[in-house]
Copies of this chain bind each other. A is one copy, B any other.
Amino acid sequence: MQIESIYHQPYDQYAFSIDDKTYRLRVRTKKEDCSVVELYYGDPFKFQDSVWQTESVLSMHLAFSTELFDYWEVDVSPPNKRMKYLFRLKNGQKSIFYGEGGFSNDFNPHDQSNCFTLAFLHKNNFISPPEWVSKTIWYQIFPDRFASGNNLNNPKNSIPWGSTQPTSSSYFGGDLEGIIQKIDYLKQLGISGIYLTPIFEANSNHKYDTINYFKVDPAFGDEKILKKLIDKCHENNIYVMLDAVFNHTSASFPPFQDALINGKSSAFYEWFHFFRDDNNKQSYETFSFVNEMPKLNTENKEVQKFLLEIGSYWIKEFDIDGWRLDVANEIDHYFWKLFNQKMKEDKKDLFIVGEIWHHAMPWLRGDEFDSVMNYPLMKSLLAYFAYQTIPTLQFQYSINELISQYPLPVIKGLFNVLGSHDTPRILTQCNHNEKRVILLYVFLFTFFGTPCIYYGDEIGLQGGNDPECRSCMVWDESKYNLTIFDSIKKLILIRKKYSVLENDGEFKWYDCGLNPNILMYERRNNQFHFLIIINNSNDQQSIQIPINLNGKRMTNLWNQQQFAAESSSIAIDLSPTDFFILHIEDTDVSQQT
């Protein structure tokens, strides 16, 4: 047994609560190195004649594997909500105990110090995004480019809607009134949440350089129009998330100008990170190397107060439902904990999403963010479905890797994107192959998480990196890519009809070893059973479904095709990039007998 590979810790992704009395424990072993893993556990204080009294041993199941590791899981509801525990790992005749104290051949009920400890399961141990999030379909809007509802507020230098490809400095006059006018469109698409990139006063078209955090940019409208937008959205059961740029401001932000001009005598000098550069000239920390974006000193008490006020203001006065936090990883954890406490106090079920492109466990422990933008998922999805640069098994490993990195409740709340204002358009990524775009959405809408469509992706907008990916929304339906548009609409309908395709129940791969071009996975809860089968190849594929479906009725929800299995095995044919969203039901009992 390769003991150096064995890993567990009694917190984060290795031990988390899945309800108010149950822990899910995870232990990692080298791939295919252990055949049995068991959990020995008991109340930390239950002794008889100084011998620790454990409960009956639980068997762990092999939940998933990555390229290097197997991950074993078990759910356990300890009496009195507390436990000490050890794992027993077996490989053939060899068996070893593993606990906080390391490895040993025997279980010693006289020495608890070798055990891991979960001291008490508090309700607030249960990390989970607000309940509504698990059922939301998001739509990201870049306001200058989505819809113009009022030409009077267009910036002076704005150019006619869609007349050219955007540059980094072009304005097209999109605004909040435009969004209001398109609520019906969003509604019909099936959207239940919109995320707006920044709308506060700024110098740029993207507005990631805030000048006034308490004012809607005049090019987008005003506070009254924002209120109307949010109210209308709420009437239509659409949640609204705004973008908070707290890492940096615009260089035109008045406190920065004050500090820049007055130096140390400015009341705002400590709001930023001024320093002397190598030539003894005054300099300051910025976002990236952008002098136009001076970095805020979020360790400063006044800055903290100021930013918390902003956070509260738009919740209390405008009833927003979420904050997306720009460049969230470059701000200190202490501030984010204050932010979380204050915002959740203001609105218990506020959704907080950090922009973090990398692994983000330290922000997702329940006391900072509910979620992060899930770019690692995007990377895997693109490699498999769009570029076809990784085989099916590699793709499954990458998804399992993601699952291994977070507690399941976190996975269920991740903000899943196929792209954003910071990446090329999805149809462009797919080399204009609309079938591959649809496969991406099939996965997105049948997997855990809270999925988001970047405006225009649903009608087939194209373009490379910024600024190309920020072109104007097309409102002429004759120019829609209807294959994509109708597919997304249909997929959203299917996801919304069956919560098991959202975040209810479990997710499980089926081995497609027999045909490496096929991706197959199950979504299942007590009520529903789905099998998703995707042909990711450019060739026709025939497969046998590796489940005994005898006596079951199956419906491919994509085309309503029904079929019944008359033997234990069933064969299906899939055209290139074809897929099945198979709803599996028991046939009527009377028919069975």
Q: A285-B81, A330-B119, A376-B113 are in contact. Are A4 and B2 (CB under 8 A)?
A: yes
Q: Mark A1-28, 1 if CB is under 8 A from B, else 0.
A: 0111101011100000000000000000
Measured CB to CB, the closest approach of chain B to A387, in angstroms, equals: 13
Q: Mark A197-235, 1 if CB is under 8 A from B, else 0.
A: 000000000000000000000000000000000000000
Residue in B closest to A116 when the chains form the complex, CB atoms: B358
Kindly report how many copies of this chain are found in the complex they form together: 2
The CB with the most chain B CB atoms within 10 A, among A9, A30, A119, is that of: A119
Residues of A123-177 contacting chain B, CB below 8 A = 123-125
Binds B, one of A331-339, A518-526, A558-566: A331-339
Compute how far the CA of A375 lies from the CA of B119 in the bound complex, rounded to whole angstroms.
16
Q: A113-B376, A299-B123, A299-B124 are in contact. Are A80 and B285 (CB under 8 A)?
A: yes
B residues near A331, Cβ cutoff 8 Å = 120
Compute how far the CA of A329 lies from the CA of B119 in the bound complex, rounded to whole angstroms.
6
- Whether B362 lies near A4 (C-beta < 8 A) is no
B residues near A366, Cβ cutoff 8 Å = 334
Residue in B closest to A29 when the chains form the complex, CB atoms: B4
Asked if A316 lies at the interface with its beta carbon under 8 angstroms from chain B, I say no
Asked if A306 lies at the interface with its beta carbon under 8 angstroms from chain B, I say no
Asked if A367 lies at the interface with its beta carbon under 8 angstroms from chain B, I say yes
B residues near A362, Cβ cutoff 8 Å = 11
Q: Mark A526-540, 1 if CB is under 8 A from B, else 0.
A: 000000000000000
Asked if A110 lies at the interface with its beta carbon under 8 angstroms from chain B, I say no
Compute how far the CA of A20 lies from the CA of B357 in the bound complex, rounded to whole angstroms.
25
- Whether A120 lies near B330 (C-beta < 8 A) is yes
Measured CB to CB, the closest approach of chain B to A453, in angstroms, equals: 22
- Whether B4 lies near A334 (C-beta < 8 A) is no
B residues near A81, Cβ cutoff 8 Å = 285
B residues near A30, Cβ cutoff 8 Å = 4
B residues near A375, Cβ cutoff 8 Å = 113
- Whether B113 lies near A3 (C-beta < 8 A) is no
Residue in B closest to A67 when the chains form the complex, CB atoms: B102
- Whether A358 lies near B124 (C-beta < 8 A) is no
B residues near A289, Cβ cutoff 8 Å = 45-46
B residues near A122, Cβ cutoff 8 Å = 298-299, 332, 334
State which of B7, B45, B337, B361 has its C-beta within 8 Å of the C-beta of A337: B337
B residues near A338, Cβ cutoff 8 Å = 341
State which of B5, B332, B337 has its C-beta within 8 Å of the C-beta of A5: B5
List the interface of chain A (C-beta within 8 A of B).
Answer: 2-5, 7, 9-11, 30, 45-46, 67-69, 80-82, 100, 102, 113, 115-117, 119-120, 122-125, 285, 288-289, 295, 298-299, 329-334, 337-338, 341, 357-359, 361-362, 365-367, 375-376, 379, 401
Given contacts A4-B69, A82-B330, A102-B401, 8 further A-B pairs with CB under 8 A are A2-B4, A9-B359, A11-B361, A45-B288, A115-B358, A120-B331, A122-B332, A125-B332
Query: Closest 5 CB pairs between A and B?
Result: A4-B5, A122-B332, A119-B329, A45-B288, A120-B330
20 contacts between A and B (CB under 8 A): A2-B5, A3-B68, A4-B4, A4-B68, A4-B69, A9-B359, A46-B289, A82-B330, A100-B358, A100-B359, A117-B329, A117-B358, A119-B329, A120-B331, A124-B333, A333-B365, A334-B366, A334-B367, A337-B367, A338-B341
